[in-house]
Amino acid sequence: MRAGLDLHLDRVQQFIASQPFALDAYQIILAGGTATTAIALLKGLASYDGAAVHGSAVSAQDLLSLAKQLEHRPCNARIGSVLSRDLSCIASDNWLSEARRATMPVGCVALAKILECIGVEDAKVSDRDLLDAILMQL
């Protein structure tokens, strides 16, 4: 699966390299379930809270750390607050469905690789849809 991701990322890098703009002049916005769920888990939220998630920043390293934690723990295990870097701050992720939990590690790796590919350190996360994310730019 990751080999397919690398192929797509190569295409993204080629596209970005061909553009006449500097991508680092823009704030990258991630919208969608993987990004929003990642923020909720990284913040150690006891339940999903869109208001707490919306507008949060996430780095590629945060996403990779979360992916590693999710890959190496049983379904009912607990996860620390990676954003605060205080792993003693434990929160439950029992609100996360089994199907969602199963897709989160690869989704987090994909988002991290996209951020790395486009050469940005972090991105903001929108709990709303893409139009709201675009409006955050204005």
Domain ranges of the chain: 2-137
- Nearest-angstrom CA–CA distance, 3 and 1: 5
Q: For 9-14, what is the mean pLDDT? A: 81
Average pLDDT of the chain, as a whole number: 80
Q: Is the pLDDT of residue 44 over 50?
A: yes
Asked if the 2-137 domain carries CATH number 3.40.50.1100, the reply is: no
Global confidence as pTM = 0.74
Among 58, 34, 42, 55, smallest CA distance to 106 is for 34
